[in-house]
């Protein structure tokens, strides 16, 4: 069995003792240094950034008040009453818990991925393990693809019919980052092999076409080997040369490069930062939903929609870790200026024309992180204050609003740290 096969077996939960040491014939290198191949182990990542707590330094909130805000939000969204929470315990088996999108009545990899990042940052190991166990093994929801050319990918929008509607690249990226943090924070075990699972997922995201011997049944790699950019969907027939701003996670790619020593992820990090800048409107900073790899808008693509809100979170995380570049800061400043001091809508054309003028609470949360990524903007205090003043999301849209809110609060409080 090759190392790639062994790692894949770990993800299936069927790896045999000692399989990782049996690397005969493998193309993978334990140092991760030969042509960017996936290593057999993660490197420790050192990070000396000062995680600025803007609730404290900017809004002058006390440590107790900040801790209470975080704790209350987590308890309500994860362990509150059935009409308030989004975390559902023991689904499809004991120890398998998930996140439910009640607005659409389904389970999405995106939501589980954000919840895994939140739980590892808050040191909630039980909830993290239950989420990952569900994601890997839940027989009914079938998030994990265990056969065919898409083997190793995770699906999304799997409702009661358990039909695969897309392969969620955003969720899979969050899984990989969260698993790496879990390994660094809690250490891998036979029951929870965070490290091997993370490496197996990185390998399939990068090397699916190599594994399959090319594009099979329209399934390709999640990342372009030529452009070093994440595809919006590995179904190449539909999205082989397009991407989305909301999928760009340069801070995660920086971490992956550090943890694996793979030049590929460093190239992805650089390309991702360039795309975020080139795809943004030169005046408003807003991104279209879809763009080509050169940053130009895909013909007919919607403008700045609800899904794009995740882009602000990605910018904020990059800035919090001190890994963002000057051009990203300029884009964040444009966004902060556009959104600051005006009534909130929900969706916009990239030139700033409001398409839906109904206030979007999730956008308020996302824009709050611009206080981190646009540190000299005149609206910085107001953007952060708007997040602080928000109540914990409730109602049928509490899935998206709640995850955006809690992620934003963790970034603004400096709690979204590198492990």
Q: Is 30 part of any domain?
A: no
Residue 324 has pLDDT above 70, yes or no: yes
Q: What is the dihedral of CA 63, 67, 69, 71, to 10 degrees?
A: -170
Whole-angstrom distance, CA of residue 76 vs CA of residue 196: 32
Give the Cα separation of 168 and 41 in Å (integer). Answer: 25
* Helix, strand, coil % over all residues of the chain, rounded to 5: 45, 5, 45
- Number of separate domains in the chain: 1
Of residues 356 and 24, more confidence is placed in: 356
Per the domain annotation, does 68 fall within a domain?
yes
Contact 162, 142 (CB under 8 A): yes
Determine, yes or no, domain membership for 38.
no
Q: What is the mean pLDDT of residues 206-235?
A: 93
State the average pLDDT over residues 280-294: 96
| Mean pLDDT over the full length of the chain | 89
**What's the rounded Cα separation, in Å, for the pair 295 and 271?**
11
Structural domain contains residue 40: no
Look at residue 99 and tell me whether its pLDDT is greater than 70: yes
Q: Maximum Cα–Cα distance for the chain, whole Å?
A: 62
Indicate whether 26 pLDDT > 70. Answer: no
Q: Which domain holds residue 223?
A: 3-25+53-269+278-412
Is 31 within a domain? no
Q: Which residues is 297 bridged to in the sheet? A: 291
pLDDT of 174 reads 98
Q: What mean pLDDT comes out for the span 68-89?
A: 97
**Percent of the chain's residues with pLDDT above 70:** 88
Distance CA 389, CA 50 (A): 25
When mean pLDDT is compared across 118-122, 166-170, 225-229, 329-333, the lowest value belongs to 166-170
With respect to residue 212, please indicate whether it lies within any of the assigned structural domains: yes
Using CA atoms, how far apart are residues 80 and 86, in angstroms rounded to an integer?
9
Lowest mean per-residue pLDDT among 18-22, 80-84, 183-187, 229-233: 18-22
* Position 37 in a domain: no
Residue 234 lies in a domain: yes
Q: Output DSSP code: residue 191.
A: S
Where does the pLDDT of residue 16 fall: very low under 50, low under 70, confident under 90, or very high at 90 and above? very low
Cβ count near 329 (within 10 Å): 18
Q: E strand or H helix at 14, and its extent?
A: none
Q: What's the pTM value of the predicted model, to 2 decimals?
A: 0.91
CATH number for position 123: 1.50.10.10
Percent of the residues in the chain that have a pLDDT greater than 90, as a whole number: 78
Instruction: Please report which confidence band the pLDDT of residue 98 belongs to, taking 50, 70 and 90 as the band edges.
Output: very high
């Amino acid at each position: 069995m090759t190392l790639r096969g062994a790692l894949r077996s770990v993800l299936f939960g069927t790896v045999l003792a000692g399989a990782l040491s049996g690397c005969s014939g493998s193309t993978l290198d334990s140092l991760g240094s030969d042509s960017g191949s996936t290593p057999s182990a993660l490197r420790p990542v050192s990070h000396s950034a000062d995680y600025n707590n803007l609730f404290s330094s900017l809004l002058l909130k006390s440590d107790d008040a900040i801790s209470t805000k975080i704790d209350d939000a987590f308890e309500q969204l994860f362990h509150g009453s059935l009409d308030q929470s989004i975390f559902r315990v023991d689904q499809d088996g004991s120890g398998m818990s998930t996140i439910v999108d009640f607005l659409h009545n389904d389970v999405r990899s995106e939501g589980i991925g954000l919840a895994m990042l939140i739980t590892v940052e808050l040191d909630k190991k039980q909830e993290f393990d239950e989420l990952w166990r569900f994601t890997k093994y839940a027989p009914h929801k079938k998030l994990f693809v265990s056969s065919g050319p898409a083997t190793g990918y995770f699906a999304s929008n799997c409702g009661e019919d358990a039909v695969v509607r897309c392969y969620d690249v955003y969720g899979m990226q969050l899984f990989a980052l969260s698993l790496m943090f879990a390994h660094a924070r809690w250490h891998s075990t036979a029951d929870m092999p965070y490290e091997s699972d993370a490496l197996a997922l990185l390998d399939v995201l990068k090397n699916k076409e190599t594994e399959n011997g090319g594009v099979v049944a329209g399934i390709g790699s999640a990342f372009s080997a030529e452009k070093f950019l994440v595809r919006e969907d590995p179904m190449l027939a539909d999205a082989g040369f397009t991407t989305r701003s909301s999928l760009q996670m340069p801070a995660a790619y920086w971490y992956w490069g550090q943890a694996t020593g793979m030049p590929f992820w460093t190239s992805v990090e650089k390309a991702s930062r360039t795309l975020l800048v080139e795809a943004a409107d030169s005046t408003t900073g807003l991104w279209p939903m879809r763009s080509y790899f050169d940053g130009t808008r895909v013909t007919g693509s919607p403008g700045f929609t609800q899904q794009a809100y995740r882009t602000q979170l990605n910018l904020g995380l990059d800035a919090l870790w001190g890994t963002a570049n000057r051009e990203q800061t300029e884009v964040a400043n444009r966004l902060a200026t556009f959104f600051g001091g005006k009534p909130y809508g929900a969706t916009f054309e990239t030139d700033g024309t409001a398409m839906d003028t109904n206030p979007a609470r999730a956008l308020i949360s996302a824009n709050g992180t611009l206080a981190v990524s646009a540190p000299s903007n005149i609206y910085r205090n107001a953007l952060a204050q708007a997040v602080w003043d928000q109540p914990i999301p409730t109602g049928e849209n509490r899935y998206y609003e709640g995850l955006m809110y809690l992620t934003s609060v963790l970034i603004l409080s400096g709690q979204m740290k590198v492990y």
